[in-house]
Amino acid sequence: MTLVALCVISFLHLQLGGMASDTSFNGHVLTLFEQSALLFGTPAESFTEINYYYVQLPRWLMGLIVGAMLGLVGSLMQQLTQNPLMSPLTLGTASGAWLALVIINVFFPSWVGEYSAIAALMGSVLTLLLVLAIVGIRNVSGLPIVLAGMTVNILLGAIASAIILLNDQYAKNLFIWGAGDLGQNGWSWLQWLLPKITVALAILLFAPRLLTVLKLGQQGATARGVSVVPMFLGFIAIGLWLVASVITAVGVISFIGLLAPNVARILGARTARDELWFSLILGAILLCATDSLALWVGAYSVDIIPSGTATAMIGAPALIWIARHHFRAQDSLSISLPGGRAHLGRYTGWLLGACLVLATLLYTLFSYSGNGVSLLLPNEFVWSVRWPRMVTTLAAGAGLAIAGAMLQRLVYNPLASPDLLGISAGATFTLVGSSLLFGVSIHESGPLVAFSGSMLVLALLLLLGKKHQYAPSMLILTGISLTAMIEALVHFALTRGGEDEYVILTWLSGSAYRAQGSHALMLLAVVLVLAGLSISASRWLTLISVGRSFATARGLNVSWAYVLLLSCVAMLCAIVTTTMGPVAFVGLLAPHMAIMLGAKQVKPQLVVAALLGALLMLTADWLGQIVVYPGQISAGILVSIIGGGYFIFLLMRSR
């Protein structure tokens, strides 16, 4: 059955390829007979024939192979880790490759032609090693590895954006790769890729035995004389290699590796061998089908539609749908962060407050002019530029920290960060979408557009989460899917060229530069109200963080509480994103630092985290204005780099 589907889709893909080229260059369409003649060795002569043989055929084959590999590796990883969320996408490898390519293009432009493949390969392998180093090889079966992957994803993405923004023109050629494109120009990439993926045979031949044994659990495996750990590591390494090669060849194509194995299981693949083979074929079908769609839409549009964009647009809703119907709620907390002090010191809160006041004063008075530093009372104009920025960063930091602290307790996972819910991505989506559709500048379309995007995602989350009583894995899965889909759309916007892309990129970097007085005050007011609400709801949070059943037993309507608290988190995210763009890591980091300072109860944690978040953001914004003076690095990027680096250090030390 699946094989028939594969044939049908392949046929469709090749014909669509012909159509797409036909509309653009008035050539005649090759008949099926001519096509088969070309396949069996007639040399291609006319341009249409050459196009068929050197563009359409390799693209089709590339689609099949890439899809198959992504499906296979996805299945392998999911079976090895018993984790249906595991996939190349959720491991953050793509952003590693992306960063490596950006670095090569910006700093070593003369190497671009020759070494970019090797650089991308190294980037993705290093990223995977980093993610594994964070969670530890024994911790790969739960949400933690997904969260760690996304964390690394955000960190590397932020560094790459900073480099692009500071050197805008160089990275231009990369955007289409970033969007993931199967388009081929001859057989060279296939020739490059094929020898590298022969190792996949090892998976198909030898993995089923190990995987079958693994299903019995590790003890069972050892009892049968299989030395699990070395084989496990070996297969992981092969999987990584395959993914890295594929990413290097075609760029970022998400979702296939995550979807195919899940579809295979739904279609009834029971044994390990079946699942591997089915995922392989399904991966090929899925990618071929979505790429057909890209070809078909591309035939009618002025610009190229990258394959990766089409895949994400189809993949994200499909994944959410599958998750809704076939996942069991399974939440495991298997990672612990350093404990820190047992109690909050008596003066810690005051000390923090004093630091914050000091930082605020410094922010107000400090002037840097390239060659000199002065501490002066700002004149009226400078003050009118500085105070909205200061209020925005302070309120944003505090708001995100509170949102993060609440969310981590709601989903029982210390690695959850509010931006993983997709709320910020929702705002990005509507802003970029409106700029694409109506051609308005992203800075002019206004906060309402952004806010409505965030609220749309919140509504989706609440709607989709209800069935699973807002189980964390579902929430995060939905968030990740939405985020990946929106990333694909943004990359598409970036490939279109012109000078708009830097406006979009700057917005994405989360900068307080454009903060206006009225918006800043609005943000402050909303954050204060929501902070007040969250502190007054701290009893709910305490009950919920002990356990759902415990909370129910104490007479709390858990579902209702979830809706309210989640909305609170989402509102905080939405208002911050609306005012200064997406900001990562503050919401992840501040609550942890609070705990390390000893604020373990809900109420003190919220307060201390808010203070820390505000301090972090303010410092980042201040530093960002100094390090590349007279240019600036946005607070969002700087906080991601500082916070991300620190967080990874923390995670590694905690093991």
Binding site for another protein (CB under 8 A): 21, 24-27, 44, 47, 50-51, 53-55, 109-110, 112-113, 165-169, 172-173, 175-177, 181, 183-186, 188, 298, 302-304, 367, 369-370, 381-382, 384-385, 439, 441, 443-444, 495-500, 502-503, 506, 511, 513-514, 625, 628-632, 634
Selection from 276, 306, 494, 524 nearest residue 397 by Cα: 524
321/629 with CB nearer another protein: 629
Q: Minimum distance from CB of 632 to another protein (Å)?
A: 6
Contact call for residues 504 and 440 (beta carbons, < 8 A): no
**Per the omega criterion (within 30 degrees of 0), is the bond before 630 cis?**
yes
Q: Minimum distance from CB of 165 to another protein (Å)?
A: 7
26/198 with CB nearer another protein: 26
21/478 with CB nearer another protein: 21
Other C-beta atoms closer than 10 Å to the C-beta of 364 total 17
Intra-chain end-to-end CA distance of the chain, in Å: 47
User: What span, in angstroms and rounded, lies between the C-alpha atoms of 254 and 89?
Assistant: 6
349/433 with CB nearer another protein: 433
90/495 with CB nearer another protein: 495
DSSP tag of 55: I
Query: What type of residue sits at position 368?
Result: Y
Contact call for residues 322 and 43 (beta carbons, < 8 A): no
Q: Minimum distance from CB of 60 to another protein (Å)?
A: 14
47/649 with CB nearer another protein: 47
Q: Minimum distance from CB of 644 to another protein (Å)?
A: 22
304/623 with CB nearer another protein: 304
Q: Minimum distance from CB of 256 to another protein (Å)?
A: 20
151/509 with CB nearer another protein: 509
225/498 with CB nearer another protein: 498
What is the b/e burial string over 174-212, where b = at least 16 CB atoms within 10 angstroms of the residue's CB?
A: bbbbbbbbbbbeeeebbeebeebbeebeebeeebbebbb
Q: Minimum distance from CB of 515 to another protein (Å)?
A: 11
421/493 with CB nearer another protein: 493
Q: Which two tokens stand for residue 158?
A: 């932020």
Backbone angles phi, psi at 61, to 5 degrees: -65, -40
110/549 with CB nearer another protein: 110
201/628 with CB nearer another protein: 628
Locate the DSSP E strands across 304-435: 366-368, 373-375
Contact call for residues 259 and 287 (beta carbons, < 8 A): no
Q: Minimum distance from CB of 51 to another protein (Å)?
A: 6
Q: Minimum distance from CB of 637 to another protein (Å)?
A: 12
Q: What angle do CA 297, 70, 427 make, to 5 degrees?
A: 55
24/536 with CB nearer another protein: 24
Q: Minimum distance from CB of 596 to another protein (Å)?
A: 34
| Residue 520 buriedness (CB in 10 A; 0-12 / 13-18 / 19+) | buried
Q: Minimum distance from CB of 202 to another protein (Å)?
A: 31
| Residue 27 buriedness (CB in 10 A; 0-12 / 13-18 / 19+) | middle
Other C-beta atoms closer than 10 Å to the C-beta of 347 total 10
Contact call for residues 152 and 134 (beta carbons, < 8 A): yes
Q: Minimum distance from CB of 634 to another protein (Å)?
A: 8
User: What span, in angstroms and rounded, lies between the C-alpha atoms of 260 and 262?
Assistant: 5
Helices (H), 83-217: 93-107, 112-135, 143-166, 175-178, 188-196, 200-215
Q: Minimum distance from CB of 355 to another protein (Å)?
A: 24
Q: Minimum distance from CB of 444 to another protein (Å)?
A: 5
Q: Which residues pair with 375 in a beta bridge?
A: 366
Selection from 554, 527, 522 nearest residue 611 by Cα: 527
User: What span, in angstroms and rounded, lies between the C-alpha atoms of 635 and 260?
Assistant: 38
Name the 3-class secondary structure at 450.
Answer: helix
Q: Which two tokens stand for residue 584?
A: 């990562």
Element (DSSP H or E) covering residue 620: helix 602-627
User: What span, in angstroms and rounded, lies between the C-alpha atoms of 595 and 348?
Assistant: 12
45/220 with CB nearer another protein: 45
Q: Minimum distance from CB of 232 to another protein (Å)?
A: 38
User: What span, in angstroms and rounded, lies between the C-alpha atoms of 648 and 404?
Assistant: 17
User: HEC profile for 14-41?
Assistant: HHHHHHHHHHHHCCCCCCHHHHHHHHCC
